Structure 1
Amino acid sequence: MLPIVKPALGIAPEIINDPRIAEHFKRGLRVYSGIKEDVYVPSFMPDSSIVQQLNLDERDIVVTIRPPASEAHYHNPDSDKLFARVIEVLGHTLGVRMIILPRNEKTQKDYIHRTWPRWCKEGKIIIPDRVVDGLNLIWHSDLVISGGGTMNREAAALGIPVYSIFRGTLGAVDKYLAERGRLIMIETQEDVESKIRLVKRRKKPEENFGDSVALKQIMTAIGEVIEDRSVS
């Protein structure tokens, strides 16, 4: 719901360049390159302490997995089937460690422990017992598989291979990322084995993600509004 007072300027990702939205702002709508995660991700700095915190082995292929949002109104049960298939395939693959981030304690976490108790006990599946820095975890992963949401977009912004098992109606951002090869959609059981590449990623602790073009564009737009107001 847009505010009663008409703001001076609207700022949105380039994929939301809608004239109908622009009408609600005095100066219209300015867009920036990429997605909102491209605004803040370039300032990210890796922290290697998470390797010890989660007892990871540098030789393993680390896969971070976010289950589908099973309680959301937009949930499609096909996502759950893909999630289960992902766990089965990765669980039977040597040298793979799965870090699973359940969306809730009562249902998903219990389900994972009940369904794959041996892998949980052996450490093949790791469910962090405390909150972890999402960006840092993604960066220390070799790939990400998620039921949708921020984790997919942040992985794409970091340049980490990311696969979506979301089977609901695809949003504009996911379409944008998929069209540009920044997000790979897993749509069938067969896709789990044919599309997901379990490969070690070369990580550079000193990696520089560069300046945020999106942030510069936003600051320029805001600066123009401030300058015009000061002149008037």
Structure 2
Amino acid sequence: MSVLFDLDMPKWALFFLPIIKELKKQNVNVIITSRGGEDYSELNKVLDLYKLDYISIGKYGGASLEGKLKASIDRQIKLIEIVKKYNVKVVVSGSVVDINRVAFGLGVKVINFYDMPLKGYNNNLQLALPQIKLSIPLSTKVFKPFVVPTDIYLNLGLVKDQVIEYHFLDPLIWLKDFTPDINYIKKEIPEIDFNKKIIVIREEEFKASYVQNQYPYFYKVIDSLQNLDINLIIIPRYEAAHLKEKFKKAIVLEKKIILQHLLAFSDLFIGGGGTINIEATYFGVPVISTRSFISHYDKFLIDNALMWHSNDKDEILHLTKKLLSKKTTQKAKEVYSKMEVDIDMFVNEIIK
């Protein structure tokens, strides 16, 4: 039996890795494809970092809608040949439009995962992400975390038997067995002064189809923070060069490292992303989310006092001073200890 995992973001490499390992133990032929062209190298760098074999197909398409569309059409044509070549029976993805369209068109079983179907948490389908509209309705099965209501998927055309709930936030699948190593960070980022506080910052994925604008206040926050007597570390979302030029007092990461080690020893995380924000909360690091909307899992973390949200420069700076010395380690243990990862459940649902 051949199962194809199609990846479009680094997160899915981490999420699917334990599932892939278990499938291989059961002699399932696993093929991994990535959307990691020259215009978006982050995914392939992560796959290389974790020594995963993969086939890189197509490219991201850039920030424009036309560019994304043309890249998607070209990639679908190439994926058709891969599915046929390996006689794929099941495709698994984080709701990647390309492979969903190809698999559905070829009559191949489609299994989707996605923890953020809407740009918000009020279950308004008008806020559904573009890729969700183009993928979820084609699903044979959908897996979703407990924080996302089932009704969203039912309103997208599925029935209850197709929607399978799991009882954890996505990063727990790779963090539950992770052991932070401070020596790894000392080696990879020797510029860090561990006698000072560490603030880590990540941009929003502003080229993504679900993000409307790149907000200037975010960079004004960085400009203010770099004058503090701290370690200010910026994780670029895309290119690093302009960040190094603009923020000369900050440490701008240019090479791919295992970021979880850094997060574990940070004092505060400020980010416009999703997955990495959750990861930081797992380690008891206070998180200020600067994303342009609040997702279902953001709302869960905010309600549990592990995350704060703001799109205002002055408020973010105020929260920074307030939270910089207030680790949330105990609260994080309480919240995450109630979650359970069941790899066998995923594997059984994929192959049955």
Q: TM-score normalised to the size of structure 1?
A: 0.73
Distance 1:113 1:99, change over 3 A: same
How far the C-alpha of 1:172 sits from its partner, in A, is: 2.1
Worse overlay, 176-185 or 28-37? 28-37
Matched residue, 1:122:
none
Distance 1:18 1:93, change over 3 A: same
**Which of 300, 310, 334 matches 1:176?**
300
Matched residue, 2:324:
198
Distance 1:162 1:37 in 2: 15
CA contact (8 A) 2:198 2:266 kept: yes
1:67 aligns with 2:199: no
How far the C-alpha of 1:126 sits from its partner, in A, is: 1.0
Matched residue, 1:36:
170
Matched residue, 2:287:
162
Q: How is 1:1-232 mapped onto 2 (pairs within 5 angstroms)?
A: 5=109, 10-19=142-151, 21=153, 24=158, 27-48=161-182, 49-55=184-190, 56-77=192-213, 80-94=215-229, 96-105=230-239, 109-117=240-248, 119=249, 125-167=250-292, 169-196=293-320, 197-199=323-325, 213-216=339-342, 219=344, 221=345
Distance 1:46 1:87 in 2: 26
How many pairs are equivalent?
A: 209
Identity between Structure 1 and Structure 2 (%): 22
One-letter identity of the residue aligned with 1:133: I
How far the C-alpha of 1:19 sits from its partner, in A, is: 4.2
CA contact (8 A) 1:42 1:212 kept: no
Partner-residue secondary structure (3-state), 2:237:
coil
CA contact (8 A) 1:11 1:29 kept: yes
Partner-residue secondary structure (3-state), 1:93:
coil
Distance 1:138 1:144 in 2: 8
CA contact (8 A) 1:9 1:25 kept: no
> Is there any run of 5+ residues in structure 2 with no aligned partner, and where?
1-96, 112-139
Distance 2:219 2:150 in 1: 38
Distance 2:316 2:260 in 1: 24
Partner-residue secondary structure (3-state), 2:340:
helix
How far the C-alpha of 1:90 sits from its partner, in A, is: 1.4
Distance 1:110 1:6, change over 3 A: closer
Q: TM-score normalised to the size of structure 2?
A: 0.50
CA contact (8 A) 2:286 2:328 kept: no
Distance 1:153 1:143 in 2: 13
One-letter identity of the residue aligned with 1:163: I
